[in-house]
Structure 1
């Protein structure tokens, strides 16, 4: 390595020697709020589907599927294009652009006047959400030491778990209370997203991204800030480990991924996300609809799902202590297995029309969702810094094609005229998709507690 490359490698190595969280909780809150409104918004449409919105906007069953899919196609497009921007111009600008897109899309959803405007606004919101998740995980992975990377991503996700957990209660409060309650549900997401925009300017740029752009002075300043914060907590820091090389970005970020090493990782990640998202969006988008059609009232179905949603918090807290102690891909596989069991309980709840089974299934589904956050960490770890956001975005974004397709799978299988038997088959098929996802993720490489340069160079 040249003298400059050694210096840049040393800057990266100084991050990984830090034994504790090297940044204030306020950073985690600002980043975590992105998770909050991303997951809040993902759920809002599923509750709006069983609100007066359907009649007020004269939505057909096909248009309902179009609205769900529009968010997901927007997710795919936004994840890739904004993540590519972040590989070129930095993680911080990517985070700012995301928040603006989500605020604009959510506000437009609240003001929708027909199917076309709703579908268009969901597409814009999806643009921001897809990029948000990609860049959050990239940013946190790059500013966090290797030994606690999984734990910090998990703790940042707690805000997202709150978004998932609180949304059903917010829906219960807003939708039955007013014919336009669904508009307030979307509008609240717009308000939170808009409030985050100025806070994102407070975050420093990723020092790892700065090093591959050759901006030594700026990277040095950020890492010194991380070291000083950690030193105030633990005193002197351990010795700097051996610097590891990492290639600078030359050319288009995506082009860095299409080779034997990263191409196979990318294919593996795309496939496990594809099948996982078929389950996730099948349940998120249509579980309330199937339960109501099969005999549960809206209030009953939503209330029991809301009770079960505390599993998001429990799952997030349960994973944090072990996120860096067990190999990442095995943690992901265990979470997927719990999700499979949960969706089979949903099928049983429909068959027996049983609120207790529905509640247990909802709790386990929520628990599994939060317990599966290492899948985000794992995906970000698979790719080099020069194309990490792009790699994550392609894997997660193209994987969302599974979520975009599943509304039409549900449309073909589920029949409102025979809701019990077709509801059982719908949930059972979603469980099979998750079993496939579990088997695929087990084929990936090991990453836990390894420095990013060890995993991806």
Structure 2
């Protein structure tokens, strides 16, 4: 494979202006990932309904009841299974996108978790519910890794920040939908079927629709060129260029070919090489820290509201109101996503998350709880799109998916066990103890990114990775 040809493909993509063609690709990819977010976020909202179905008694949990030995019980086993599946997906199968391509792995994982979740919806024991939740988690774990690599490689350097913010704006639009469906369906049994099962099935049906939409998304030309499939990469790039020129009515500028190329066969061991081990360590620590705040609030918000004296019905209602804020964080970020350094956006997001969580734990006024929940959610989702972009930028195309999978896997492990921490501190000292736990984790994330993270704003992927 000619390194010069690979560098030319990258340069041609990076000189593309903002256009309907580019944003259509980003939106279609985002729609493909929409129901992955649906699956992730229904976890906390369907918990009361699952518990009422008797799925979390020791007898129903079967082999999963053994998790009581590490203090995982009841609904905690479902959370644990979710993130254990995600961990397996990103660690063991995240590398598939580097080997077989972004597109087939992206669409295949969509089918995987949609089918697995349908099967899960009809389980009547906690043991089988958790087993199929773990299997489904593998599918959307793979997709989480693949979509970050996909977007970073298809988007010009000057637009990467906004591309990730729009991606997460679209994806997070589903969160208030999940909360609303849970609020309306979990307390009832339409057609004799538990309401929580309807919530799960609706998400799977939507994922099937998303699968048809993402068939319009091309393979990553950067990945194709790296694998020696230069003619295919050229054809896809040329097609995008023609559409962009037709939309803008102007000729594209000459591509500026960078002297540094991304070449060679990727190996997993390379993420620990002299060039990348510091980034790998920094991102691994950060991922463990940030997820304690992100999912510590998102997955537990109804329970945390109950701990502040709100009853179950109002807890779901307030959770829905807070959930409406989810897409507005990335939308707000789209105005400065390519103006501020990615690491600056991450650090500011973590600071606001820590402060607002501490304030949330010290107030009892319903209106103030909602306001602080909204502020936390906005900050968390600004931080989220920024770090998804950031970690995908720090590695070359040949190892991007497996590297992102490895560092991201630490957030899956941390999330699985953070549930234990949240439950423990909630029992020990209520919402204030949980808030203190989250705030400390945010400080760790701030130090990791703020002190050790490199700058990436507006820099070509091929330069960042060197």
Work out whether the TM-score is over 0.5: yes
CA shift digits 1:103-154 (9 cap, x unpaired): 0232123112111111112112211222212111110110111010111121
Contact kept? 1:105, 1:125, Cα under 8 Å: yes
CA shift digits 1:43-73 (9 cap, x unpaired): 2121222225444324357032121011111
Match of 2:420 in 1: 408
C-alpha distance in structure 2 between counterparts of 1:123 and 1:330, whole Å:
35
Contact kept? 1:336, 1:368, Cα under 8 Å: yes
Instruction: Tell me how far 1:25 sits from its aligned partner.
Output: 4.3
Match of 2:69 in 1: none
Gaps of 5+ in 2: 59-71
3-state secondary structure, aligned to 1:62: coil
C-alpha distance in structure 1 between counterparts of 2:122 and 2:264, whole Å:
42
Number of aligned pairs?
A: 447
Match of 1:175 in 2: 186
Change (3 A) 1:13 1:341: same
Contact kept? 2:44, 2:298, Cα under 8 Å: yes
Q: Provide TM-score, normalisation by structure 2.
A: 0.91
Structure 1 position 268 matched with structure 2 position 282: yes
Gaps of 5+ in 1: none
Q: 1:57 aligns with which of 48, 55, 58?
A: 55
Q: 2:267 aligns with which of 231, 253, 266?
A: 253
Match of 1:34 in 2: 32
> How much is the aligned-residue C-alpha RMSD, in angstroms?
1.9
Instruction: Tell me how far 1:217 sits from its aligned partner.
Output: 0.2
Q: 1:46 aligns with which of 32, 44, 47?
A: 44
Q: 1:319 aligns with which of 330, 333, 355?
A: 333
Match of 2:345 in 1: 331
Q: Provide TM-score, normalisation by structure 1.
A: 0.93
Q: 1:214 aligns with which of 188, 209, 228?
A: 228
Instruction: Tell me how far 1:454 sits from its aligned partner.
Output: 0.4
Contact kept? 2:56, 2:75, Cα under 8 Å: no
Match of 1:73 in 2: 84
C-alpha distance in structure 2 between counterparts of 1:300 and 1:280, whole Å:
22
Contact kept? 1:21, 1:144, Cα under 8 Å: no
Match of 1:344 in 2: 358
C-alpha distance in structure 1 between counterparts of 2:242 and 2:49, whole Å:
52
Contact kept? 1:244, 1:453, Cα under 8 Å: no
C-alpha distance in structure 1 between counterparts of 2:160 and 2:392, whole Å:
11
Which consecutive aligned stretches of 4+ in structure 1 deviate over 6 angstroms post-superposition?
none
Match of 1:378 in 2: 390
Instruction: Tell me how far 1:282 sits from its aligned partner.
Output: 1.6
Match of 1:278 in 2: 292
